[in-house]
Copies of this chain bind each other. A is one copy, B any other.
Amino acid sequence: MKTSIATVTVSGTLPTKLAAIAAAGFDGIEIFEQDFLASDFTPAEVGRMVRDHGLQITLFQPFRDFEALPEPHRTRAFARAERKFELMTQLGTDLMLVCSTMHPAAMGGIDRMAQDFRDLGDLAARHGVRVGFEALCWGRHVFDHRDAWEVVRRADHRHVGLILDSFHTLARKIDPDTIRAIPGDRIFFVQLADAPAIDMDLLYWSRHFRNMPGEGDLDVTGFMRAVAATGYDGPLSLEIFNDQFRAGLPRMVAQDGHRSLIALMDAVLRGAEPALAPVALPPPAPVGRVEFIEFATTPAEAPALEALLDSAGFARAGAHVSKPVTLWRQGRANVLVNTGEAGFTHSTYLTHGTTVSEIALMVPDAQAAFARATGLLAQPHGEEPAAGELRIPAIRGVGGSVLRLLDEGADLAGIWQVDFAASPAELGAGITGIDHIGQTMAYDEMLSWSLFYTAIFDARKAPMVDVADPDGLVRSQAIRAGGLRVTLNGAEARHTLAGRFI
């Protein structure tokens, strides 16, 4: 899989974007003229900058309002195209996206458009470049990939191909399986985007609400299965306009993008298709339960936390053999209170104050879950276990805290008995286990968190709901992965009660 991302997806200046995209592991970018129009860089310098980051320019876009124009518009459109071809040569890219026209003078007519593209193909060939035609779902005459394909088919030119975009197909509820009739070598490029299921004007929806595959409600997996069935093996490119991403951190957005593509292709390969590439990652698994939650605190602040636990019916049930960690139990709910003054837990305390530093999840196969998570770009968390302590795989969550991955083979009873010399849990106030975890983040980061959980585990999202917080609106998203239920609360950090937990 060759991965690509449109520069518009990520915020910042061009150098910032390129650094973030390269760091996230993409192979290439779609470039927009706006990326460098106002900069001091020449197109040749921009091309070098891109290649210096180990990236290639997979696509130059967009070229608008080209096809089916009467004169004198038609001649002008060809002159405009020729200038872009020259620019592309300087940039060092060979493919231009032509999106279906919205020009008020455009006449339509499949054969007229095909003739225009045949002539454009001749011009492109003279410049050593290619053009791809994409149906915008709000296009004036062409707004369905089947019509765009008919234009390309009739243009019948080696330098003219089709460009598909999951949003444009799925937003119009066009059956993606219609793609299976298109030859893979006639598809020059594939753009991918998801979107939440909010009924809305298509153009507005596209410009502000697109998100990464898996972050929304469109069947991008079904779309991509159809694309894969054609034999297409070109770049898979994210072209995502989203107000949250524009406010987000470039590196986080770029990494989410790469994660979403890995998860998407994993889901595609796991589908019923024969003859596709082998699956690289272990399958997503549900979580059995939350085995324990650890708080980072200090000897000075621990008594207040422990008094709270006591008042909620927890009882002190043991202490760690080698670390200043106490175990509090009630039913199957285990809470660790860590007052250590070294290591990760302590640095978590120093950053956030008394807070949850670690959550331990029981999964069917901890090593497989760890392999899947790291394959999906989760950061492994590895502190060397002290002598006599068990080594258990762990990853860092989006907010930086640790997710420990346990399985029944890990001799859990051993953990509690060996590490904690724990006494059995008592009934307490009637709490029987940890049934959900509430996590609060800036609204801008909410999609990152939901993608993290849904990509790594076998998880389902509930519809997002708006919650009236005393000081403003909070978007709340529940995610369930077997016995793990997470409630993500996206808060406007400045104004809400929930925001105080960020």
A-to-B contact residues, CB < 8 Å: 8, 11-14, 32, 34-39, 198-201, 204, 207, 241, 243, 246-247, 466, 468-473, 492, 494-495, 497
Contact = CB atoms under 8 A, between A and B. Distances in A.
21 contacts: A8-B468, A11-B471, A11-B472, A12-B471, A12-B495, A13-B470, A13-B471, A34-B468, A34-B470, A35-B470, A39-B470, A198-B201, A198-B204, A199-B204, A200-B201, A200-B204, A243-B473, A246-B472, A246-B473, A246-B495, A247-B495
B199 A468 contact: no
A50 to B, nearest CB: 15
Contact of A34 (B36, B247, B469): B469
Nearest to A32: B468
A346 to B, nearest CB: 31
B207 A473 contact: yes
Contacts of A13: 470-471
Nearest to A37: B470
A492 B8 CA distance: 14
B12 A466 contact: no
Nearest to A250: B495
A492 B204 contact: no
Contacts of A241: 473
A34 to B, nearest CB: 5
A422 B245 CA distance: 53
Given A34-B469, A198-B204, 18 more contacts: A8-B468, A11-B472, A11-B494, A11-B495, A12-B471, A34-B468, A36-B470, A38-B497, A199-B200, A199-B201, A199-B204, A200-B201, A207-B466, A241-B473, A246-B473, A247-B492, A247-B494, A247-B495
Top 10 A-B pairs ranked by shortest CB distance?
A: A199-B201, A200-B200, A38-B470, A11-B495, A34-B468, A34-B470, A198-B204, A246-B472, A198-B201, A38-B497
A34 B204 CA distance: 32
A13 B243 CA distance: 26
Contacts of A198: 200-201, 204
Contacts of A466: 207
A13 B495 CA distance: 7
Contacts of A199: 200-201, 204
Contacts of A11: 471-472, 492, 494-495
A205 to B, nearest CB: 8
A209 to B, nearest CB: 10
A94 B241 CA distance: 47
Contacts of A247: 492, 494-495
Nearest to A242: B473
Contacts of A204: 198-200
A497 B40 CA distance: 13
Contacts of A36: 470
Contacts of A12: 471, 495
A35 B468 CA distance: 9
A136 to B, nearest CB: 14
Nearest to A473: B246
Contacts of A492: 11, 246-247
Contacts of A37: 470
A310 B247 CA distance: 40
A46 to B, nearest CB: 12
Contacts of A473: 207, 241, 243, 246
A340 to B, nearest CB: 33
A247 B470 CA distance: 15
A13 B494 CA distance: 11
Contacts of A201: 198-200
A204 to B, nearest CB: 5
A11 B468 CA distance: 12
A469 B198 CA distance: 26
A247 to B, nearest CB: 6
A14 B37 CA distance: 47
A378 B465 CA distance: 39
Nearest to A16: B471
Nearest to A200: B200
